[in-house]
Amino acid sequence: MTALEKNNVKVFGNGGKALIFAHGYGCDQRVWRFMTPAFQDEYKIVLFDHVGSGGSALSAYSRIRYSSLKGYADDVLELCHELALTDVLFVGHSVSAMIGVLAAIKEPARFDKLVLIGPSPRYINDINYIGGFSQGDIEGLLDSLDSNYLGWSSTMARVIMGNPARPELSEDLANSFCRMKPDIAKHFARVTFLSDNRADLPKLKTQSLILQCSEDVIAPEVVGRYLHQNLANSRLRVLEATGHCPHLSAPEETVAAIRTFL
């Protein structure tokens, strides 16, 4: 099975330079539908689904390979190899921001710039570090997911989206969660929320833009500022958009910020 088949890769657009969009936890490539029209005349757009999400090949899922974010980063590099992509522009949301960082550390010559939307190197608070959650918070979140996945999906979709005045966005995200196989979703959640990539940050040399949302309970502003301080070649842009998914709730502002950076 090729990486293009495994990750349900879609390629379109009129440009020569590749712009890869990588979705966050519980989502699939559909989340970029409000963003890609703004870039497809200038770039080669590459969309894909992480294994276990969307239209990916579920038979390719391995709890060993995907026991850390490095397995997902290797998938990104494999699809770059198959498409012969170099000088890549990578846009990663949430957990995929760190996946992109790991891929660019492993093969820095393959990437030109990274756009990190709502990134977090560690969700759990630590000594001299605020990630936004206590150890107990995360354990409770994971226990809730294990005991009632459908209920968890509905509740967390509202928390993640952070736009109570637009319930249709939360409903769409909850439906996306529900399209994942529960056992894969539970494992990916543990890998995501228990990861700690702080030690990797100084290794990144690729230029990056950190897009920080206002009032984001998943990746609060203090996390964005921590990343900016620890990524040597980074810029930080705080958006007016609230919540954790500005590519869905405020695509125009998000597109404008990315355009300025690119």
Residues marked as catalytic: 94, 216, 244
- Which is nearest to 178 in space by CA: 158, 160, 151, 217? 151
**Which DSSP letter does residue 213 get?**
E
Q: Which two tokens stand for residue 134?
A: 């206590």
Q: For residues 25 and 53, is the Cβ–Cβ distance under 8 A?
A: no
Query: Can you tell me the distance from the alpha carbon of 242 to that of 150, in angstroms, rounded to the nearest whole number?
Result: 25
Name the burial class of residue 203, with classes exposed (0-12), middle (13-18) and buried (19+) by CB atoms within 10 angstroms of its CB. Answer: middle
Q: Which two tokens stand for residue 235?
A: 């810029």
48-75: b (≥16 Cβ within 10 Å) or e: bbbbbbbebeeebbeeeebeebbbbbbb
* Helix runs in the chain, H state only: 3-6, 69-82, 95-106, 135-147, 149-161, 167-178, 182-193, 221-230, 246-249, 251-261
| Beta sheet of 10-12, edge-to-edge order | 10-12, 44-47, 18-22, 88-93, 111-117, 207-214, 234-242
